[in-house]
Structures are given as structure tokens and as C-alpha cells.
Amino acid sequence: MLGHPDAPHARAARAVTPSALAPNYHPLPVVLATGEGSWVTDVHGRRYLDCLAGYSALNFGHRHPALVAAAKAQLGKITLTSRAFEHELLEPFARAVTELTGTEMLLPMNTGAEAVETAVKAARKWGYDVKGVPDEAATIVVTEGAFHGRTTTVVSMSEDPQMRDGFGPYTPGFRIVPYGDADAVAAAIDETTVAVLVEPVQGESGVIVPPADYLPRLRELCSATDVLLVLDEVQSGLGRTGTTLAQDLAGVRADLTTLGKALGGGILPVSAVVGRRDVLEVFSAGTHGSTFGGNSLACAVGLAVVDLLAPGDLQARAGALGVVLRERVEVLVARGLLAGARTVGLWAGLDVEPALGLSGYQTCQRLAARGILVKETHGTTIRLSPPLNIAEADLHLALDTLTDVLHEEAVEAGRAP
Ligand SMILES: *Cc1c(COP(=O)(O)O)cnc(C)c1O
């Protein structure tokens, strides 16, 4: 037994015994053992404030008591029936999520990528069956810099060589246009177009917030051209932006919305497509499915997640703390420590000033050494997405530490403001 692969003795042993783990990630050298709320503890007993929160899968923090209780209660009853049989939580789960999101119907899946795949399939089938697009001709407009997951069809929507190269042949039928540019979407739409699929805020790209009129214009455009507006809210949805969905900020309702990450409460993968009844009704029995989608345990946790969000105070809290977050990062921009900062709700993409000579990864390493966990998105950009119920003092602690790390680097680079 090597113990944990990143424990020091295991790392030493790896010199002789190569890792059994495929190298498709480059994690920070922190080996976590326990978590509670916004805090996690590593195998050496060191505590860290988790300001990544599982890329928003942990919007309610680690092991939220209500979510753990719901999971434990369900573990004592039944965990999986498969969709070959009914179970008592599936319809209530669908009803709860559609009520929370102001939608009509839900199709349950597991991962975010599967929810996106489901939306693509729904849009194509709607295009052929309802819109009358000729067979095999359907096109979907997507955007540069998007992140929708890792399956072969989903990476076919990407222009990012890192995500895409080496994994062809690619699924045809996607037109990639610049993000935030409604005119480019308009130009890409023709009679073969069945959907426009975008993130309301691009998460993995570094929290890119589009112009205020972007989503309203896409909504108008899609309605006018008989094209489905599909919003991928796997990361932006369920409270992160200070509203239940990011699209609420723009006063827009998509035809289909993908949900994931926080829907599983950080306990298990739960995703869904929610949206228009007449669109999701293009699926008939046997045309789409998932062994685990909508399993009893997933529904129990998902229902508890909806219970946490239904009163609206967590969203309000994310909005209020988001103001604190914005004010503090604006100071860092003014001091020349950040070259740019974008925030929406309790979510920030921060571009470290390049003259400091710190990459995003190095910034995260320095923060981790001081007990704050965040993750770079790419280049010099880091993303902050702490749990929505983080204590305000803890948010200040994270920003104080970030300020110290950047300030010390500026002093070293001879650029102390
Ligand atoms: C994370 C993410 C996905 C993919 O979710 P997985 O559960 O990792 O498959 C899809 N879309 C967006 C916007 C995401 O942030």
C-alpha cells in the first residue's frame, strides 16, 4: 500500500513505482482529508479556506448538514431503481427544480457534460421533428472560449486546442462565434440552425460577463428566427450570481437550461436539463436515457438542494457578499496588483498584473501555502467561487491573503505601489 498518491512517502515511492493515476490534471500539492463548511483539512492537519468550492459544485460548502441528513436518510431506504421502475422522489424532484427555475419540465442526468449532450440532442430532434430542418443538417451556434464539458461531441464545440486537439474526428454541426457578440450570432443563424448554446457567464474562461444586452438580444433573435436559446448554467446556476439562475439577472428565460454541479450538493453528480415542455417532449421512451439519471439518492439530495435555495436568502447573501468581493478586488485593480477583475455575485475572475511575473498557477500555490485554496483558469487568471454561505470574515481573510501575496510579489518585482 502506498497510501495517498500525493502523501510525501508516496511521492518518494513514486520515484520507483510510477503513479497509477492518469495525468489529466495538475493539482495543487494539497492532499485533503476532511471538510466542513468553507474549510478543509489536509492529511497533515493543516486547515485551508476553500475558495474554489468544487468549481461551484460546493455552493453550500462541504457536508452541509441538511444535505448530509437527506443523503443519510435516503441511504437507509433505497438508492437506485434505474428508470425501468418508478420511485417516489423522481416526480417531486422534477417538480421542485422546475418550480425553482420557472420552467416546465425536467430531464435528469448525472454530469454537466451529459446535461449539455441532452440539450444538444433535444435541440436537434426538435429541429427535425418540429422546425422541419432537413435530416442531418442541424446546426448549433456556440461561442469561443466556452466550456461545456469533455465528451467528444462537447469538445467538438470548442476551438481551444488543449481541449480539442488529438480527439477528432469531431461531431459536425457547430458554428463557433465570438462570445458576447449578438451580431455574430445573428450572422451565424440560418434555416438549419436549431439552437444557440451559450453560458450566461463564461466560467472556465475566467468569469467572462457579457454585455448587459447580450442575453436579451439572443432571446429576441432566437424567438424571431425559431431557434432554441439554450443556456448552460451548470456552473453559473443555483445561486452563484446572487440569483437562482444567471439568466435571471438579464430577465431572460431560456428554452432549455442545463444544470449540474451544485445540484448534487457536493455529494454526488446530479445534472438536469430544464425547460419548455414542448421541446423536452420530443423525447419518447427509449430515445434517450441514463442508468443513474434521476436515481433515488440523487433526487433526495437534489430536493434538499432546492429546499436550501427556495427561500432565496442564500442567493441574496451571495449578492450581498458579491458587493464586498467587488469592492475589494477593485482596490487591487486600482493598486496595480490586478490587471483586470470581473465579478458577478460571489464569483470573480481576476487577472494578476503580468508585470508581477506570477502565473495563475503560481499565485494559487502561494495562496495555498497561506491556507487559501483557489484555482487558476488559464494564464495569469484565477477564479474565486467560495461557498455561498462563507462567513464574511472568511471572505475578507481570503482577500487579505490575496492582497498580501500580490503586494509581496510587487515589492520583489520592484513595483510596490
Ligand atoms: C463544469 C461544466 C460543465 C461540465 O460538467 P461536468 O459535470 O464536469 O461534466 C458543463 N458546462 C459548464 C458551464 C461547466 O462549468
348-352, strands of its sheet edge to edge? 338-343, 348-352, 381-384, 375-378
CB distance 260 to ligand 1 below 6 Å:
yes
- Domain assignment present for 275: yes
Residues 299 and 341 placed together within one structural domain of the fold: no
Residues 220 and 121 placed together within one structural domain of the fold: yes
CB distance 108 to ligand 1 below 6 Å:
no
Residues 198 and 234 placed together within one structural domain of the fold: yes
- Domain assignment present for 240: yes
Domain boundary among 256, 275, 309: 309
How many domains is the chain built from?
Answer: 2
**pLDDT tens digits for the chain (417 residues)?**
344 545 555 555 555 789 999 999 999 999 999 999 999 999 999 999 999 999 999 999 999 999 999 999 999 999 999 999 999 999 999 999 999 999 999 999 999 999 999 999 999 999 999 999 999 999 999 999 999 999 999 999 999 999 999 999 999 999 999 999 999 999 999 999 999 999 999 999 999 999 999 999 999 999 999 999 999 999 999 999 999 999 999 999 999 999 999 999 999 999 999 999 999 999 999 999 999 999 999 999 999 999 999 999 999 999 999 999 999 999 999 999 999 999 999 999 999 999 999 999 999 999 999 999 999 999 999 999 999 999 999 999 999 999 999 999 999 988 765
Residues 50 and 72 placed together within one structural domain of the fold: no
Residues 286 and 181 placed together within one structural domain of the fold: yes
Task: Indicate which CATH number applies to the domain containing 18.
Answer: 3.90.1150.10
Within 13 Å and on the Cβ side, how many CA atoms surround 346? 34
- Interval between CA 117 and ligand 1 midpoint (Å): 11
Domain boundary among 309, 328, 354: 309
Amino acid making up residue 254:
A
- Domain assignment present for 399: yes
Domain boundary among 269, 288, 309: 309
Residues 184 and 303 placed together within one structural domain of the fold: yes
- Domain assignment present for 182: yes
- Domain assignment present for 138: yes
Residues 75 and 183 placed together within one structural domain of the fold: yes
Give the residue whose CA is nearest to atom 11 of ligand 1. Answer: 148
Q: Which helix (H) or strand (E) holds 230?
A: strand 228-232
Contacts of residue 412, defined as CB under 8 A and 6 or more positions apart, other chains included, come to: none
Structural domain range at position 368? 8-62+313-412
Give the residue whose CA is nearest to atom 6 of ligand 1. Answer: 112
- Domain assignment present for 397: yes
Residues 164 and 276 placed together within one structural domain of the fold: yes
pTM over 0.75: yes
- Domain assignment present for 3: no
Residues 254 and 147 placed together within one structural domain of the fold: yes
Going by their DSSP bridges, the two strands 256-259 and 375-378 should be labelled as unpaired
Residues 335 and 355 placed together within one structural domain of the fold: yes
| Number of the ligand 1 atom closest to the C-alpha atom of 149 | 4
- Domain assignment present for 417: no
Note the pLDDT of residue 413. Answer: 85
Q: Active-site positions?
A: 147, 232, 261
| Number of the ligand 1 atom closest to the C-alpha atom of 150 | 9
Task: Indicate which CATH number applies to the domain containing 175.
Answer: 3.40.640.10
Going by their DSSP bridges, the two strands 256-259 and 271-275 should be labelled as antiparallel
Residues 173 and 295 placed together within one structural domain of the fold: yes
CB distance 203 to ligand 1 below 6 Å:
yes
Radius of gyration, alpha carbons of the chain: 22
Residues 271 and 340 placed together within one structural domain of the fold: no
